[in-house]
Amino acid sequence: MADLNLKTHLAAFKNPLYLESGRILEPFEIAYETYGELNEAKDNAIVICHALSGSHHAAGFYEGEKRPGWWDALIGGGKAVDTDKFFVICANTIGSCFGSTGPTSAAYPKLEPYRLKFPVITIKDMVKAQRLLLDSLGITRLHAVIGGSMGGMQALHYAIDYPSLAKRVIALATTSATSAWAIAFNKIAIESIVSDPEFQGGDYDISAVKSRGLRGAAIGRMAAHISFLSPESMREKFGRDYAPTDGLFDLFGKFQIERYLDYNGGNFPKWFDPLAFIYIAKAINIYDLSRGYDTLENALARARSHIYLFGFERDLLFLPAEMEAIDLAMKSVGKGDLSNYCLVKSDYGHDAFLTEVDKFSDRIAEILGAEI
């Protein structure tokens, strides 16, 4: 396997980013990684968009890392997103907490963080910022944009907001507008965070939370972890296995599923900032691809990219039917030739787009390799 030529960058933008809300973000920075090399024609770039808690670290290892970037199974030399052929870019979204400007960034010209004064951002804003990054790199044509979950929302916005930018848009496990079900899960997390006394109305000690965690954010993440799985995958992974150290009649004795939630929830606030979580959850909640275009059909009528939609069979967070509905809407506006829907067989639930890459990577390689 060839080296994927992982590089990390920070791009600074002095001009304001005009946000969908009417507010501005100025200045702003975008942290991003690249893999592979941009060719001379600058036409071999692929943008990868990350999900809610993801980062720009999509592939490869940093020194000392035990686990690679979150989509390493998909991206690399000889893999479906082949870094021997393509120049791959993954940017941390604005509003997040891995280097791009977000609610814990300094609110210029002050040195103190924005916190709750950070403007509400949208998925459309995230893509607009990424577009400026591509401009700064001299990239005006993308071989493809690929993303799952919130990353898929971004990918679809590329297709609608910048119709001539990407030749291929690949959206996995996502939707055209966030459902009440998904909003409800985000609600648990948001309420749990803001109700934690240590959150202090957003004025919490940022470094203390990073080292100690925040109970409310941990519990909120437990709820999110339910939404990432399915009843079937939980049965398969955990069943009714009980912690061998605990008595069945101990009031707080634990099933293995509870220990899994404890572990994943408990760690979360140490690596993901609670304010960033609230802002990104808000962006997901108010995501509606049709906003500004009156109807979904009007929005999709703008598309000139080939759009590939992957639904996952047991995904409860973004139902396959929601992906299929985008395909049907494309057909209804005479864009059927640009639209392709595929249902991936899986019991895993929403997270299958991260954990079962082998189930769709061949198809992605094929899409990226085909002449269109």
Residues that bind a second copy (CB under 8 A): 20-23, 116, 119-120, 177-181, 183-185, 187-188, 191-192, 195-197, 215-216, 219, 222-223, 225-226, 229-231, 234-235, 237-240, 248-251, 255-258, 261, 265, 278-279, 282, 285-286, 288, 316, 319
Q: Which residue among 125, 315, 327, 351 is the active-site one?
A: 315
Distance of alpha carbon 284 from alpha carbon 295, whole angstroms: 18
Instruction: Please identify, using beta-carbon distances, which residue of 261 and 300 lies nearer to a second copy.
Output: 261
In whole angstroms, the minimum distance from the beta carbon of 308 to a second copy comes to: 23
In whole angstroms, the minimum distance from the beta carbon of 97 to a second copy comes to: 16
Annotation says 315 is catalytic: yes
Q: Which of 256, 266, 262 is nearest to 236 (CA)?
A: 256
Pairing of strands 168-172, 306-312: parallel
Instruction: Please identify, using beta-carbon distances, which residue of 86 and 228 lies nearer to a second copy.
Output: 228
Annotation says 350 is catalytic: yes
Instruction: Please identify, using beta-carbon distances, which residue of 53 and 305 lies nearer to a second copy.
Output: 53
In whole angstroms, the minimum distance from the beta carbon of 84 to a second copy comes to: 41
Q: Is 349 left (phi over 0), alpha (psi -120 to 50) or beta?
A: left
233 to each of 20, 252, 316, 358, how far by Cα in Å? 38, 24, 12, 17
In whole angstroms, the minimum distance from the beta carbon of 111 to a second copy comes to: 22
Q: Print the SS3 string covering 311-358.
A: EECCCCCCCHHHHHHHHHHHHHCCCHHHEEEEEECCCCCCCHHHHCHH
Q: Which residue among 82, 96, 350, 351 is the active-site one?
A: 350
Degrees to nearest 5, angle at CA 99 with 93 and 101: 60
Place of tokens 């993308």: 142
Instruction: Please identify, using beta-carbon distances, which residue of 179 and 340 lies nearer to a second copy.
Output: 179
Instruction: Please identify, using beta-carbon distances, which residue of 132 and 177 lies nearer to a second copy.
Output: 177
In whole angstroms, the minimum distance from the beta carbon of 49 to a second copy comes to: 22
Return all residues near 324 (Cβ < 8 A) that are at least 6 apart: 309, 311, 341, 343
Beta-carbon neighbour count of residue 26 at 10 Å?
Answer: 13
Annotation says 294 is catalytic: no
State the catalytic residues: 149, 315, 350
